[in-house]
Amino acid sequence: VHRVAALVQRWILGTHHGSVQPEHLDAYLDEFVFRFNRRTSNSRGLLFYRLLQQAVATAPVTYRDVVRKA
């Protein structure tokens, strides 16, 4: 548990430079979990193409939508 918490903290500080708003924390943690769960995937090369397919097929989430959920 401490190791994962340290990884999350380093990821937030390194990627987002520590500027994470509490109302957006769920979205940031979802991204971290997605990346963490796929770090050793055998299909990492295909992951980008699958991500593109999902991005094209999925409706965009606006800032207003993210804030409204909080």
Q: What is the pLDDT of residues 8-58, one digit of tens each?
A: 888 888 887 777 788 888 888 898 888 888 888 777 778 788 888 988 998
- 11, with CB counted inside 10 A (0-12, 13-18, 19+), is middle
> Are the C-beta atoms of residues 53 and 6 closer than 8 Å to each other?
no
- pTM beyond 0.85: the answer is no
pLDDT at 43: 75
> Are the C-beta atoms of residues 12 and 20 closer than 8 Å to each other?
yes
6 pLDDT higher than 80: yes
Our CA angle for 52, 53, 57, nearest 5°, is 115
pLDDT at 57: 93
Residue ranges with strand state E in 1-70: none
